[in-house]
Amino acid sequence: MARPGLQARPAPAGCYNRGVSPLSDPPLTKRQLGWLLILAGGLGALAGLGVDVVSAGGWPGLGPAQAQAVGAAALLALLGLSLLPLGDRPA
């Protein structure tokens, strides 16, 4: 029989406890995932645009594959933005 006072308090529905112990490995939240996607999208867009800086692109200006890559990276960042309001719900 569980003893009152020693029983772990149940987590509220729709969220979870973070950092229960130094060894705990909590799952990502929607917000954290959102930030990760924004970071990945931003870095991806920078890398796509940076191709021209190192003169690796085969086209003058923004090439078609490059434009697609930058567009996909921007979409990824937008997707991340849309996740930020979802807060601490597990991703």
Partner 1 sequence: MIPVAVGSRVVDLRPLPRWARWLSAALLGLAALALIGQFLVYVHYAGALLRFPFDYDQGEGFELYDTFLHTQGRWPYQDSQVFPFYTSIYPPLYHLITAPLVMAFGPQLWTGRLVSFLASLTAAAAIAWAVRRETGQTVIAALSGLAFLASNYTFAIGPLFRQHMSMVMFETLAIVTLAGFDWNGSGREDAKGTRPEPRFAAAWPPSRFNRRLYLGAGLLLAAGFTKQLALATALAALAYLFLRGPRRALLAGLGLALVGGALFFWIDWQTDGWWFISIIRANINEYDLAQTLAFYREWLALHAVVAAAAFGCVIHELYFGRLSAYGLWFVFAFANGALSGKFGAGESYFVTATAAACLLTGLAAGSIVRFISSDPATRTTPHSPVFAFFASLRFKTVLSLAIPLFFLFQTRLTLHLYTDGPVYGPLARLLGVADNSGRGYYDSQGYTQLGPRPTRADYEAGVTIAELARQAPGPVFSEEAAFLFAAGKPVVTNPFVQLVMFQAGLFDPAEEIRMIEAQAFGLVILRAQFYPPPVLAALGARYQPKTEVQMNGFTYRLLEPRP
* Beta carbon of residue 28, minimum distance to partner 1 (angstroms, whole number): 5
**Where does residue 20 rank: exposed (0-12), middle (13-18), buried (19+ CB within 10 A)?**
exposed
Q: How far is the CB of 50 from partner 1 (least distance, A)?
A: 18
Q: Which of 38, 42, 33, 37 is nearest to 70 (CA)?
A: 42
- Given 39, 47, 65, 78, the residue binding partner 1 (CB under 8 A): 65
Would you count residue 13 as binding partner 1 (CB under 8 A)?
Answer: yes
Q: How many whole angstroms separate alpha carbon 39 and alpha carbon 83?
A: 13
Could you tell me the smallest distance in angstroms from the CB atom of residue 24 to partner 1?
3
Q: Which of these, 36, 34, 33, 43, lies nearest to 72 by C-alpha position?
A: 43
**Quick check: 28 binds partner 1 (CB under 8 A)?**
yes
Q: Which residues are near partner 1 by CB under 8 A?
A: 8, 10-11, 13-14, 16-17, 20-21, 23-28, 33, 64-65, 68, 82-83, 86, 89-91
